Structure 1
C-alpha cells in the first residue's frame, strides 16, 4: 500500500468515525461502528484493529498461548504455540487456517524461519516451561530444533550442560534463536541463565556471553527473552538482544562485543522484529502509573524508527520524549492487548500480534491506515 493510498484510507476512516460519533444515531450503531473502526497507534503508524482475523474456533482448534509468527516464502503465516494438539498453526493472510501440526513442543516458544538455498527451514524453541490441561505449570530443560517447513526434524542443538558450556547449577531454558549471515545460530537462554549461545550452522558451539555477573555491566542480561539479527545497515549487521527486566535492547557485534543500549522505560519487551527501517516488538507487561510491575493484562505493541526512537505504541499511550529522553510508557486507557508477545509485519505493513496469557485468543491483525 503506497503512502497516498494509506493517507486516504486513514483520513476516510477517521472522518467517518468522527461524523458517526456526532450524528444522532442509536447507541447500538455507534458501539458497533467503534468496534469495527477501532484505530490505535500514533503518527504515521496507526492501525485498524481486526480482532476476528483468525477464522478458527475453540471448539475445533485448541489454543493456549500464541507465542511467535513467521511468514514463509509462499506467503503463509506460521504461528507457534504451546498447545500439544497443534503446536503450529498455518494461516493465509485472510486468516483462513490452512494446516495444524506438531505435538512434541509443550513449551513451544521461539520460532525463526531461515531460507537456505531456496528452501525454508524452521528453528523451533521449546523453552521447557509449560502448562498442562489442568493449568499446572511444569519446568524442565529446554531444547532447540531445526526442522523442515512442515516439521520434520533435521537436528537438535546440544544442551550446554552436555558439552561443558554450563555447570550443573546453571539452568538452560532457551526462548529464541536468530540466524546470522554465515548461518551461525544464536540462542537466547531467556528463561534460564540469560546467556547468548553462538553455534555454527552445523550446531558446533562457538562462544557465549551475557549472564549476570560481568565486570562490565553492559554485558549483563536479565531475562534475555529475544535475539535478532539487525540488517538495517547491510554492510554491518549486528545482534539485538532483549534484556526484558531492564526494559531495554542491547546491541552487540556478531561475535559478542557490546555496542550500545536502547532503553524502553516501563516496557517489558519481547524480541525485536525488523521490517525495513523499523523495529517492532510486543510488550508483554508494562508498569502501572503507581510504579507496580509485572501486573496482569498490561501489554501493548511498540514501534521504533531507523534511529531507534519510539514512534508509535499501538494499544499503549503516545510515546513522549523530554530533552531527548523517552519517558515511561504505559498501556492505553482502552486496552487492546493483554500480553503482547510477538509481531509479524507483512508486505502491506499490516501487523499480526500474538499474545501470551490472553485466554486462548488467536492473533489480532492490525491493518495499517
Structure 2
C-alpha cells in the first residue's frame, strides 16, 4: 500500500508530501513558472547552483538554453542559443572564478518533424534527429573559453563512431571526465585544458564489468577524501558502476527496474534521478523518481516511488508508478537541503522544487 495519496493522472501534485524518514519533502510545482512565450523550455535537462545561490537550469530550447533563477523561483536572466542538444551542465571554481561546462548531446529538434513521431529514432521525420555532439567551457555569463569536440580529431575514435556526450564531471585536480552516453559509450578523461589522457568503457570488453550501455551520468565521489573515485551510470543496464580515477573498475551498484542517471552528492548521501521505471518489460512513460543512497551506496529512500526493499542484500525492482514525476533527469541541492528537479519529456513544464521538511 502506498504511504501517500497518489494524484490522478494529469493532476498537479503541488503541496503533496513525499519521501520518508529524514528525507521528506513538500512538492512545489509552482516554483519556477515563467511565460512560455518569452522563456520556453523543451526538456529541463540539468541544474546547478553557483556561489551566489542562483539556480542555473539547462534546456534544449534554443530561444534560451540557460535560465537562471533565484531560490525563490524568480527569473534572474536567460541566455544562450548555441546549444540545440543542451543536456548536462557542470559548475567548477578555478582560482576564485566559476566556470560552466555545457554538454550538447547532438540530438536536435527536427525542422522536418511530422508532428507525431517521437520515438522513431531512425526516421528523418522524428521529433529529434542525431548529429554529433560537443562540450564547451564558458564563463559564468556565457563567454566561450574552449571547446572539446569529436574524439576522432585526436585519433581515439574511428570516423564512423558517433560522439554524442551525455554528462561531465570534474575532479579536484581539474581532470575532466565525459560520458559518451548517446554515442559510443566510452568515458573519456582529459586534463583541465582539454588534453586527452585516456578512455575506457564501450560495449565490447572481454571483462564485462567495463561494458557501459547508455552511460548517461557521472560524478566524482569525494565523501571519503582519502578515496576519490567515479560513479558512472550504465543506464540501460539499470546500474551504477564505480571506477578509480584512472578508469580501473571497482564494483557495481545494481538498481533493478530503474533507468538511472549519475549521482548528485550532499553530505554522506547521493541522490540519483531515475528517468523511467522498468514496468511490463519496457521503460514506462511517466514513471520517474529520485533514489537516495547512503554512505554504503544502499538505497534508503525513493522520492516519487515506493520505498526501497532489499531481499537477501539485493535491491528489489520498483513496482509502483506514483505519477508525481514524468521523467526525472537533472537536479541540484541547495544548502538548506531543498531539491530542484528538471525533467525530460514533461510537456515543456518548468522544474519542480522539493522543499525539505
Matched, 1:120 2:98: yes
Q: Which of 303, 323, 326 in structure 1 is aligned with 2:315?
A: 326
Aligned partners of 2:103, 2:220: CA distance in 1, in Å?
A: 17
Aligned partners of 1:340, 1:188: CA distance in 2, in Å?
A: 19
> 1:39 — aligned with what?
17
Which structure has more helix as a fraction of its residues? 1
Matched, 1:313 2:291: no
Residues 1:163 and 1:307: Cα distance change in structure 2 (over 3 Å) = same
Matched, 1:65 2:43: yes
1:35 shift after superposition: 5.2
Matched, 1:300 2:289: yes
Matched, 1:74 2:49: no
Aligned partners of 2:74, 2:320: CA distance in 1, in Å?
A: 30
Residues 1:126 and 1:321: Cα distance change in structure 2 (over 3 Å) = same
Aligned partners of 2:200, 2:352: CA distance in 1, in Å?
A: 35
> 1:216 — aligned with what?
207
Matched, 1:97 2:97: no
Aligned partners of 2:237, 2:13: CA distance in 1, in Å?
A: 35
| Residue pairs, 1:139-218, within 5 angstroms | 139-218=130-209
| Structure 1: gaps spanning 5 or more residues | 1-13, 19-31
* 1:162 aligned counterpart, secondary structure: helix
| Structure 2: gaps spanning 5 or more residues | 6-10, 116-126
Q: Under a length normalisation based on structure 1, what TM-score does the superposition of the two structures give? A: 0.88
Aligned partners of 2:249, 2:276: CA distance in 1, in Å?
A: 26
Aligned partners of 2:282, 2:306: CA distance in 1, in Å?
A: 17
Aligned partners of 1:240, 1:36: CA distance in 2, in Å?
A: 32
1:239–1:254 CA contact under 8 A, matched in 2: yes
Runs of 4 or more, structure 1, over 6 Å off, are none
1:132 shift after superposition: 4.0
Encode CA deviations 1:76-125: one digit per residue, 9 max, x unaligned.
Answer: 01001100000000000000010000000000001010011111001100
Length, aligned pairs only: 337
* 2:236 aligned counterpart, secondary structure: helix
> 2:88 — aligned with what?
110
Aligned partners of 1:78, 1:37: CA distance in 2, in Å?
A: 24
1:267–1:329 CA contact under 8 A, matched in 2: yes
* 1:265 aligned counterpart, secondary structure: coil
CA RMSD of aligned residues (A): 1.8
Matched, 1:279 2:270: yes
> 2:240 — aligned with what?
249
Q: Which has the larger radius of gyration?
A: 1
Aligned partners of 2:149, 2:37: CA distance in 1, in Å?
A: 38
1:36 shift after superposition: 5.1
> 1:342 — aligned with what?
330
1:315–1:331 CA contact under 8 A, matched in 2: no
* 1:306 aligned counterpart, secondary structure: coil
Aligned partners of 1:343, 1:245: CA distance in 2, in Å?
A: 20
2:132–2:162 CA contact under 8 A, matched in 1: yes
| Residue pairs, 1:252-263, within 5 angstroms | 252-263=243-254
1:323 shift after superposition: 1.5
Aligned partners of 2:14, 2:305: CA distance in 1, in Å?
A: 19
2:13–2:324 CA contact under 8 A, matched in 1: no
> 1:364 — aligned with what?
352
Residues 1:215 and 1:52: Cα distance change in structure 2 (over 3 Å) = same
Aligned partners of 1:118, 1:331: CA distance in 2, in Å?
A: 45
1:168 shift after superposition: 1.9
Residues 1:341 and 1:252: Cα distance change in structure 2 (over 3 Å) = same
> 1:50 — aligned with what?
28
